[in-house]
Structure 1
Amino acid sequence: MRVVVDRDLCQGHGMCELEAPDVFEAGRDSVNLLDETPGEARRAEVEAAVQFCPTQALKIVEE
């Protein structure tokens, strides 16, 4: 899986970092991806980050 951030939608709320701190790092106005292709062991936390993003700026792309 690959994580994609829509930087036009992201407002840096940081919910993703709370759900998956090894994958996301909240910045002032956007999020930084620490791991664009996290392994399957992190799938549940990445899916939670996508689900709880208040601006729906995250998505998972299956590769």
Structure 2
Amino acid sequence: MRVNVDLNRCQAYAQCAFLAPDVFRLHGEEALLYQPDVEESRRGDVLRAAAACPVQAILVEAPRGEAR
């Protein structure tokens, strides 16, 4: 699965880092680092992290061939 974060929109609330720390983490106080390619087994955590983002900066793309 592919994850994309709009870093211009991200305000570093870090809700994603609490819910999926192996995918998202803060570097310093304001810079978000994340893994763009995530194993499908992590989908639940990543979707919860995206839903928890107060500014909706996280987009989770479905794998190719999968209907949304």
Whether these two folds match at TM > 0.5 is: yes
Instruction: State the 4+ residue runs in structure 1 displaced beyond 3 angstroms.
Output: none
**1:29, CA displacement in angstroms?**
2.1
Tell me: CA distance 1:20–1:50, structure 2 relative to 1, closer, same or farther (3 Å): same
Match of 1:47 in 2: 47
Alignment of 1:1-63 (within 5 A): 1-27=1-27, 28-33=29-34, 35-63=35-63
Q: Report the structure number with the largest CA radius of gyration.
A: 2
The DSSP-based 3-state class of the residue aligned with 1:37 is coil
- Unmatched 5+ residue regions in structure 1? none
The DSSP-based 3-state class of the residue aligned with 1:60 is strand
The DSSP-based 3-state class of the residue aligned with 1:22 is coil
The one-letter code sitting in structure 2 at the alignment partner of 1:44 is G
Kept in 2, the 8 Å contact 1:13–1:26? The answer is no
Q: TM-score, normalised to structure 1's length?
A: 0.88
**1:61, CA displacement in angstroms?**
1.5
